[in-house]
Amino acid sequence: MNSKPVVAMALGGLGGFNAHDAGVLAAAHECGLEPDIITCTSGAIFWTHLFLTSPGGIREEVERQAEAVSGANALQVAVLGDPGVFRPAYASWWARWFAPPSGPPLRDLLDRLFPAQLYRSTRPETFFAQIAADFSAARTPVMFNAYAVTSGRELVFCNQAAFGFLGLSPAHVRPHDIPGEDISTEYRPIDADAVRAALWLTMYGFSNRYEGETAIDGAYQRQLIMSELTGCDVIYAIKPQASAWRAQPPGNYFEVQDFNTEMWFNTSFAAEVAGLRAARPDGARGPIRIEPITMRRPLGYFNYFVEKLPNYTEGYEQAKRVFQRDHAGTQASDKPATRRAQ
C-alpha cells in the first residue's frame, strides 16, 4: 500500500500576477515535486501547460514576456495592448456607432459609449489547440474551468487522467450548493474551445461561445478549484494575491478596483476551503493540509496588465522553502491514485 500523501496543486490565475504561479511551478520542478493532480484557472493554465511540457523553460518564458513590454509602463500596455496576447478593440468601438440602434435608448447609448469589450484577444487558434492536445495526452490529472454566463453553469474541463482521479465520467453534473437554484457544475473533456473559453477575459467582451453559449474565464466564478480535492492529503493553494488587504484603505478609483478584485477572489477561496473541509469523508486519513503560497501585499491596479520578474521571484522563493521542507513526504507515486469527488 502506498504510504505517500496524495498531493494537489491548485493554481489561481490573476492578470499580470500569473508570473507568481510560474515561480511556484519552477520551484516545484527544481524540487522534484510531481503533484498527483493540478487544478488551474485563467492565466495559470498557460504556466501549467509549460510545467507539463517544458518545465526547465519557465523562467526564460517569464523573462521573454517581461521583455516584450520592457520600457513600457502598465498604463501604456493598457492603452496599446500586450504583444501576442491582446490589443485594444478600437475598431469595434467605432463600428458600434455605425450599427443600427438596439434596445432602450439609454442602454443603447451606454453600450456605445462604454462597451463591455475593451480589448481583442490576439492568441492564434493553434495556441488553444496545442494546450488542449498536450493536456489531453498528459499522465498528470489536470482540471480547469470556464463560466457559462447565460445559464450560470460552471464548466470544469478534465483530461482523462483527471476523470480517473476523481472517479467521474464526462458529462457528470454536480448540483449547485445554493438551495433551490437550477444551476450546476458540469464536467467536460478538454478541447481547444474549452481552453479558449477558460482564457476569455471579461475585457474581451462577451462574444465567445462554447457549445452555443456565452462562456468566459472561470476564475471570475471560482479562482481556485479545490472543493473536488477531498481525496488529497496536501493541497498547495497558489493564489497570487494576499489573503488580506493589510494596508492603507483605498484612496482613489483604481485602488478601489484593486481592493474589490482581491477581496472578491479571497471570498471564493474561503468558500472553497470551507466546502472542502465539510466534504472530507468520514474515516479519512486526517484533515487535509492546505498550504497557501500567496503574494504578501496589495497588488496595485495597473500591475494587473504586465508580467514582472519580481513576482516570479517572490513565488519561486516562497515555494522553494515550502517544497524543500516537505519534499521527502510529498513526492507523488508513479501511478495516480483514484479519488472520488464529493
Q: What is the pLDDT along the chain (342 residues), one digit of tens a residue?
A: 457 899 999 999 998 899 999 999 999 999 999 999 999 999 999 999 999 999 999 999 999 988 877 766 666 777 777 777 888 898 998 998 989 988 899 999 999 999 999 889 999 999 999 999 999 999 999 999 999 999 999 999 999 999 999 999 999 999 887 777 778 999 999 999 999 999 999 999 999 999 999 999 999 999 999 999 999 999 999 999 999 999 999 999 999 999 999 999 999 999 999 888 877 665 555 678 999 999 988 998 888 877 889 999 999 999 999 999 997 544 443 444 444 343
Q: Using CA atoms, how far apart are residues 159 and 138, in angstroms rounded to an integer?
A: 8
C-alpha 240: how far from chain center: 10
pTM for this prediction: 0.90
Q: How does strand 234-239 pair with strand 7-11?
A: parallel
Among positive and negative, which fits the CA dihedral 312, 315, 317, 320? negative
The cell numbers describing 137, all together, are 495526452
Place of cell 501585499: 297
Q: How does strand 86-88 pair with strand 119-121?
A: antiparallel
The cell numbers describing 172, all together, are 457528470
